Structure 1
Amino acid sequence: MRKRLLSLMLLFLLLLFLSRIPAKNETEARDIEVLELHGVNGYFDVIGRRAQVIGDERSIEFWSFPLNLLRDYTTTLNLTELAKRQWSVIRTGEGIKEEIFVPLHEEGAVIIYSSEFPRRVYVSFTPALKHSWPSFLPLDACKMRIRFEEDRFVIENGKDVVFIGGKDIKRVGPASFCLDLGSTPKIVRIATNEETYKRLSNWKPLYQETVEHYQNFLGRITLIETPDRRLNRDYVWNLLALDSCYIEKPEKGWVAGFDRSQDITEGGGRPGFAWYFGRDFLWSSFAMVSYGDFEKAKEGFKLLQKFQREDGKIMHELPTSIHVIGVENWEKEYPYYFAAADSTPLYLIALDYYLKCSNDTEFIKQSKESVVKAFCYLLKTDRDGDGLIDNKEGHGWVEGGFLAEGQIREGHTTLYLASLWIESLESAKSLFEFLGESELSKRCEELSSKISLEQFWSNKGYFYHRKLPDGSFGGERTVMGAIPLLFGQVNDNTALEELKLLNSKQITTPWGCRIVSNSDKGYNESGYHEGTVWPLFTGWSALANYRYGEYQNGHSLTLKNLRLVEDWGLGYAQEVINGDRYEPIGYAHQGWSSAMAILPVLKGIAGIEVNERDKTIVISPCLLPSWEFLKIKNIRSGNSFFNLTILRNETMSIEIEGDVEDYTLILNVEQME
């Protein structure tokens, strides 16, 4: 349990004794720092806002969403080592170096080759020019034509085009070429149009621009520094992994993640979960907003509003090929568009959190119609009048398997969905109060007063997973009990009982949290929703532990998530892991896996809670007994930034940098025993 070392309310007059130095502009003062992770050649991706390169030791594929440009890019080089940087991937072997980078805002990529000795390398590729699955273009519209002119291959299908080449390449076949390598770099360019192909010939300024972007990004978001250098490093890599999920083409917004694609007859496959996902973005947005990237988080909300259903429901999945196949076809032909019951309550919760931290009042005013529609939609989903929204129109997180039996289509609801509904009522109330909708605000308060999660409590020390249409409860022991805890919806005694289950070996493994107890009769260690470990769940449980004072468990779970960037795909967090063995299942680069490594750091270790609406900042950092310092940089509230430094030897000193005059600061320093 926790030991309180310091509890101070720092009002304006008291702040005079603290440092009032304006927080430094890190983007001006920061030197170019190259971060690298090293490992064997395996999965990697290099993601720009308008183009993407994804590969592994076998081959590479090139994308400019929604278009798959090239597949099966291979060389005769024996590249065995891989180094991941913020802005590129470097593969090496036998004195050869290959660096792949994607200029931030270009529809193309550059590959730079060099060698310590003369060497000829042969390169082959497969033209693709197919749109991401699901593509409804008929196959005869995708007939390929390829020709070689001057220093490049030009591949066309009557609609789209891709260029691949460079001034040093020599054609050796219909889709292959060679390069004579030496100490002077040789360049291969891939682009979707003539103008971009020409710009990529002068690649060095674009490279520098990309490098500076990542340095500036790390200079303006919330960073922490502790004596644990591995923790500090892995936190940064998770920030970069999540940020790379933001793209600008075809729509500005956040995709769920990346991996190698599966070739599908009617399209170019889908590279991992590289679609726009509603609930993936919304869960991840808590991390984005917490580390201060309000601007790109807002773009995610705008996308959800643009594709919000007329009755107010928030979308679940939107492919990057949406403008090729059409919204009407997408909704008609496939069941994924509005398949989730949780996106809509999450939308209200996340939007209210965004307002609290950013105080972006203009955007919230512009969102009024969307907020009202979302709330009114949710009211209609309580079909039996028990005060709980149900999931008859979509899954309440669990999409299939034994945990969903009797849940979808038959109804009724889950602990997860009920907890989101309770929290969304509080959030909607806050939003309506700001928007001047007093009647709707009162309605939220009335509904909230009639709902309790007590009915889900089993009196066996854990929450039931689901409520069935006949009023009975599914007795499975799941990780979903973390949801009401991380929102602070239950009393301390109930929370600590639930945490006994969550922290037991039934749920928690050395690499994270299973969805369901391994002693449940339906447990399947490789079942997607039947026993696997998700970093998402691990993050939920970490937040729940921190919320109720179980700091050691929270810290342990946070480290499990942070360190995923060191394995499998260097610099990325895995989507799903086997429940019994430390083996990956699913996709290699998943955005919300990184979000749920970041958020426990910010909410647990750093303990940051900002409220720009009432100018209050609460900082309750948790220090390990061995830590002599903790530094938190760029705490953002609205448009203000703060730095906090805690030094601890025999005594403790605290320094705050920033424009603190207008803020009330509450500082609680906790030590883990």
Structure 2
Amino acid sequence: MSDLACQRRTSAALALLAGLLCLLLIVGVRPRDAEGRAQSGAADVAVPRFPLRADRHQLDRPTHDGAFFDVIGRRSALFGYEHRSIEAWIYPLKILDDFSLSFRLEGYPVEIQGSDIMASIRARPESTTLTYAHAAFRVEQIMFAPIDEQGVVVLLDVESVLPLTITASFRPRLRLMWPATSMTSSIGWDAGAHVYTLSEETGRYAGVIGCPYARDISVMPYQEEPRDVPNRFVIEVAPDLLRTRRIPIVIAGSVEGRAAARLAHDRIVRSVQTQYERTADHYEALERETIAVTTPDDRLNTAFEWAKVGLDKGVATNPLLGTGLLAGFRTSGESERPGFAWFFGRDALWTTLATNAEGDFATTRTALAFLRRFQRADGKIPHEISQSAPLVSWFDRYPYPWASADATPLYVIAHADYWRASGDREFLDQAWPSVVSAYRFSAATDTDGNGLIENTNVGHGWVEGGALYPPHEEMYLQGLWVAASHAVADLAAVMNDSSLASTAAAAAERARGAMERAYWQPDRGFYAFATALPRSSAAQAEAGPNRARRQDRLDALRDARLIDEDTVLPAVPLWFGTARDDRAQSEIDHLGAAAIATDWGQRLLSNSSALYDPLSYHYGSVWPLFTGWTAMGAYRYGRPHVGYQALMANALLTFPGALGYVTELLSGDFATPFGRSSHHQIWS
């Protein structure tokens, strides 16, 4: 070959090389991991150590083994227990559970379990942080649910004196909330994008779990009998990057397929700081735009602010149902429902009395409009709506949606309370036909014309089962009926329906008189629990303490027409001011005495009753809701000492358990929540 030809070929090769270099500069060269795989997008989505909000109501304490915590947005949530694992939900799907972290230091071959070194928890309205503390490193696990995104974020803030490898472990689930049928899910790993994708046979439901620094190390038993083994990924990040960055783990999901779930994941992972700021802004606005209290007791002030946050966390958007109020939260365990994270009618309606009082009118409108959408043609309000209800014949084939009698009069009461608080005539005009329909449904349940509305053939009142079930006419229900009749009388006057106003006012007075005659026990100084119809056989006592004594009492009640038990339920008519003053004072003596009042709240049933069982859901447990009823009733009738004792009992429950939130129920004998309790109960 001639020298000229060689020069031409060399020039051509150099030109080609220069062109390739230019192309690489244009499209970029991705760094590669230790195994030669591209770290796709890691640099693009690095999350700086942006400042977290300093909230004056921030709560900090050492972790308590088994204490519940949650991180909740409108569309998603994380639920877990301190020193245990976490589960993730993107409504109505459980994406994963058994999520945990472990750590390995360079040159130190022992794997350190995060549960062993979890040291403290910090709760802010917008986020929850768990801190892992070791002699060689400190890791903060900052968790938040973007306020209106189909995903949750876990940020790892790492400081270490040695190179540190973090291993995340989880079990993919992709399960719908009960009662919809769970699918057979599959999981795939995209090494280039650093994401797992969960999918199922229909292609409708999907989840994505991603971390831009993740490397999958799962061992899947492909050639073995199927086993439920966790997936695992490791995070290995250069120490110099950790000084200025946080490591994001994003969990997303969708009921519209894999592409939608992936879009949600990508949108969140590329806007983590923006999502955090937007969520924090929401809670700052909630504090700023709703009522605040300042008292000499900082514990009460802080509990009040956290109560507002706790209520707001109940607002949920389900892509199949819309936006309403959920009832409460806990982990789902081996079930497909995380506590009471469904749309419960009476829970939402009791809660609106609080949102009205604090000035959060948007939440009240949302809750009431949601229930109106599902009101039955005859006016009855649903008791509960599963988050998977549209996927099954929920309203036709299941007994739960119409199980209660109390949601319907509460619906009427809630609308009147909203009107008095807001003066929102436009909303009243929209809701009025629905309110009238609900009122007329309840009125029609007084089938014997005695002025008392009935549980029989309608639904349970407060007590849903067990020894005292079924009642015929609960005292609790009559308190609601008197208040609902007054409510309709007031609203009908606003709507210029004088006939309905006078009819409802007369019904209220008639029901008030009937209630006094039916339930008051003059020789004992309290209102009885309920009337009853004769039973074909005695109720059977549940297993538990003093079962024989309880069975003797049930045998004696077999033919009783009045269940003359001393309970907390008369606090409801006291709340609404519907009891005679002298009798109310005597009833408050009972509500404030040690047989019903504990240091941590009010028992449903007096512990002097032969039916009392401190471990029973209905016959001895303490509910913060009952305690709130007692506080309201006592203050209404000028008994501030009883009211304050109940108020503070509830306020102090904000701190020891689910930090910032109040549980559903506790033992009647010990200040300890039930294992089955929803540890963040909205109406509590």
Please indicate, yes or no, whether the TM-score normalized by the shorter chain is above 0.5.
yes
Q: What does residue 454 of structure 1 align with? A: 516
1:476 corresponds to: 565
Structure 1 gap segments, 5+ residues each: 1-30, 594-673
Paired residue for 2:545? none
Q: How far does the alpha carbon of each residue in 1:84-118 deviate from its partner, in whole angstroms, 9 at most, with x for none? A: 11111111122111111111111111111122213
1:379-458 matches, cutoff 5 A? 379-392=443-456, 393-405=458-470, 407=471, 412-451=472-511, 452=513, 453-455=515-517, 456-458=519-521
Report the more deviating stretch, 581-590 or 193-202.
193-202
Deviation at 1:32, TM superposition (A): 5.7
State the superposition RMSD in angstroms: 1.6
- Between 447-456 and 513-522, the greater mean CA deviation after superposition: 447-456
Superposed, which structure 2 residues align to 1:246-261 within 5 Å? 246-250=315-319, 251-261=322-332
Shift of 1:129: 1.0
Matched, 1:153 2:215: no
Say which SS state the counterpart of residue 92 (structure 1) adopts.
strand
Q: Structure 1, residues 334-372: CA drift from partner, whole Å, max 9, x if none?
A: 211011100111111111010111111111111122112
Which runs of no fewer than 5 residues in structure 2 stay unpaired? 1-52, 103-113, 221-230, 254-260, 535-559
Verify: 1:498 aligned to 2:587, yes or no: yes
Worse-superposed segment, 75-84 or 284-293 = 75-84
Q: 1:115-264 residue pairs with structure 2 within 5 A?
A: 115-117=158-160, 118-135=163-180, 137=181, 141-150=183-192, 151-157=194-200, 158-173=203-218, 175-180=231-236, 182-183=242-243, 184-192=245-253, 193-201=261-269, 202-250=271-319, 251-264=322-335
Question: Aligned partners of 1:246, 1:383: CA distance in 2, in Å?
Answer: 37
Are the aligned partners of 2:173 and 2:185 in contact in 1 as well (CA < 8 Å)? no
Report how far residue 80 of structure 1 moved: 2.8
Aligned identity (percent) is: 34
SS at match of 2:171: strand
Deviation at 1:401, TM superposition (A): 1.8
Q: 1:18 matched to which residue of 2?
A: none
Which secondary structure state, in structure 2, belongs to the residue aligned with residue 187 of structure 1? Answer: strand
Q: Deviations over 1:156-204 (max 9, x none)?
A: 1122121111211111115210112543311111122122212222211
Decide whether the 8 Å contact of 1:46 with 1:102 is kept in 2.
yes
Matched, 1:374 2:438: yes
Is 1:72–2:98 an aligned residue pair?
Answer: yes
Q: Residue 55 of structure 2 contacts residue 124 of structure 2 at CA under 8 Å; is this kept in 1?
A: no
> 1:388 corresponds to which letter in structure 2?
L
Deviation, 1:280, is 0.5
Q: Partner amino acid for 1:331?
A: F
Out of 329-338 and 232-241, give the one that drifted further: 329-338
- Counterpart contact for 2:315–2:324, Cα < 8 Å: yes
CA distance in 2, matches of 1:61, 1:346: 34
Aligned-partner Cα distance in 2 for 1:32–1:127: 34
CA deviation string 1:16-64 (max 9, x = no partner) = xxxxxxxxxxxxxxx9635321231532111001111111221111111
Corresponding residue for residue 359 of structure 2: 292
Paired residue total: 548
Would you say the 8 A contact 1:32–1:215 is kept in 2?
no
Is the 8 Å Cα contact of residues 79 and 96 (structure 1) preserved in structure 2?
Answer: no
Find the partner of 1:576 among 650, 662, 665. 665
Kindly indicate whether the alpha-carbon contact (under 8 Å) linking 2:185 and 2:198 is maintained by their aligned counterparts in 1: no
Query: What is the aligned partner in structure 2 of residue 92 from structure 1?
Result: 131
* SS of the residue 1:353 aligns to: helix
Asked if the contact 2:100/2:170 (under 8 Å) is kept, the reply is: yes
Asked if the contact 2:394–2:401 (Cα under 8 Å) also holds between the matched residues in 1, the reply is yes
2:370 equivalent in structure 1: 303
Cα separation, 2, equivalents of 1:143 and 1:230: 46
Structure of higher RCO (CA pairs closer than 8 Å, 6+ residues apart)? 1
Deviation at 1:544, TM superposition (A): 1.1
Task: Decide which of 627, 636, 640 is 1:551's aligned counterpart.
Answer: 640
Shift in Å at residue 581 of structure 1? 0.7
Counterpart CA distance in 2 for 1:227 and 1:442 is 46
Q: Is the 8 A contact 1:113 1:185 kept in 2?
A: yes
- What CA distance in whole angstroms lies between the structure 2 residues aligned with 1:366 and 1:440? 18
| Corresponding residue SS for 2:528 | coil
Closer, same or farther: CA 34–249 of 1 in aligned 2, 3 Å: farther
TM-score w.r.t. structure 2 length?
Answer: 0.78
CA contact (8 A) 2:144 2:152 kept: yes
The separation in 2 between residues aligned to 1:366 and 1:423, in whole angstroms, is 22
> Higher Cα Rg: structure 1 or 2?
2
Say which SS state the counterpart of residue 155 (structure 1) adopts: strand
Measure the CA separation in 1 of the matches of 2:141 and 2:306: 22
Q: Is the 8 A contact 1:65 1:321 kept in 2?
A: no
Residue in structure 2 matched with residue 332 of structure 1 by the alignment: 396
Equivalents in 1 of 2:396, 2:439: separation in Å? 25
